[in-house]
Amino acid sequence: MIKLVELTKDFGHLRAVDKLSFHIQKGEIFGLLGPNGAGKTTTVRMLNTLTRPTGGEAQVAGFDVVKSAFKVKQLIGVSPQEVNLERDLTARQNLHIHGLSHRMEGIKKRVDELLNWTNLSERADDIIRNYSGGMQRRLLIARSIMHRPQVLFLDEPTVGLDPQVRRLIWDLIRDLNHKGVTILLTTHYIEEAELLCHRAGILSHGKLIALGSPQELMTSIGRFVVESLDNGVTNYRLFETREEACNFAQTRGENVRIRESNLEDVFIKLTGERIGQ
């Protein structure tokens, strides 16, 4: 559904995205995981026709994002990292205008349906300016799927939200996926990627350094972690099985903790940052 071939973006001397190649299957939730500045937003913006690639190619639903940009715009839904709703318009007006841009029919009915889905019906005729962060984010997602896109881009959909609201948004994302929407989401929250994504790509300095299901990625580095505190420094070691981890832990004495590995460990291991020994 989405195909990147050596997709590259330079900002002057800075290479923000470096020859990125991967495919996203129809019906998948694919996560791009990486720290701030890794190049997630730039990648998504190129796929959204917002930024022109410096090199390489990308296709969405079989259409080139540069050569067939207009076709791509018709097919995709975009929920950007920064909430860019019209602050002086109501929720209803924001959705209505989006529907008009896409030349939709039955706009009124669809607006009611989405306000209901996001639990915003009661505040539908209030100005967005007065909404909480969570409400704005929900409306942003509602707007991005107003025209029933086949492919949805969610750039850090839960950034800055408290845990309850975050769960609410995860439910919306899963619901959309069940309805058949292919989703590319970016995040720097480990938990979000592990819980939502069928597959994830890990991005560091514009390069894809790992790709697979969260399970595969975690297994590839070792399923168990022993954390030990030595002279105020936390050391990590990865093991394939619980027995190995336990055996090692016994040799370390006190101040040890055994836990399952997570995607953060994958990142630490691959980028070499923060890893002991």
Query: Please, are residues 176 and 183 in contact by the beta-carbon 8 Å criterion?
Result: yes
Number of residues that bind another protein (CB under 8 A): 25
Quote the CA–CA distance of 80 and 264 in Å, as a whole number. Answer: 24
CA nearest 86: which of 46, 41, 131?
131
Stretch that binds ligand ADP, among 10-18, 131-139, 194-202, 269-277 (CB under 6 A): 10-18
Q: Show the binding pattern over residues 15-34: x = contacts ligand ADP (CB under 6 A), - = does not.
A: -x-----------------x
Give the x-and-dash track for 41-60 against another protein (CB under 8 A): -------xxxxx--------
Q: Which is closer to ligand ADP, CB of 200 or CB of 238?
A: 200
Q: Is 187 in the site for Mg ion (CB under 5 A)?
A: no
Q: What is d(CA 170, CA 250) in angstroms, rounded to the nearest whole number?
A: 39
Q: Which stretch binds ligand ADP (CB under 6 A): 36-44, 141-149, 189-197, 266-274?
A: 36-44
If binding is defined by CB under 6 A, does position 11 make contact with ligand ADP?
Answer: yes
In the complex with ligand ADP, which residue's Cβ is closer, 118 or 187? 187
Residue 135 binds which of ligand ADP, another protein, Mg ion, none (CB < 5-8 A, kind-dependent): none
30 three-class SS:
strand
Which segments within 176-251 are labelled E, that is strand? 182-187, 199-204, 207-212, 224-230, 233-239
> Residue 36, Cβ neighbours under 10 Å: how many?
9
Binding window for another protein (CB under 8 A); candidates: 23-31, 76-84, 183-191, 232-240: 76-84
Name residue 275's amino acid: I
Give the range of 4-12, 36-44, 55-63, 131-139 binding Mg ion by CB under 5 A: 36-44
DSSP letter for each residue of 78-145: EE-SS----TTSBHHHHHHHHHHHTT-SSHHHHHHHHHHHTT-GGGTTSBGGGS-HHHHHHHHHHHHH
Q: Name residues whose C-beta falls within 8 Å of residue 110's C-beta, 6 or more positions apart in sequence.
A: 95, 99, 104, 146
For the segment 87-126, give every residue that binds another protein (CB under 8 A). Answer: 87-89, 93, 97-98, 100-103
Is the CB of residue 135 less than 8 Å from the CB of residue 83? no
Residues near ligand ADP, by CB under 6 A:
11, 14, 16, 34, 36-42
Residues near Mg ion, by CB under 5 A:
40-41, 81
Residues near another protein, by CB under 8 A:
48-52, 70, 73-74, 76, 78, 80, 82, 84-89, 93, 97-98, 100-103
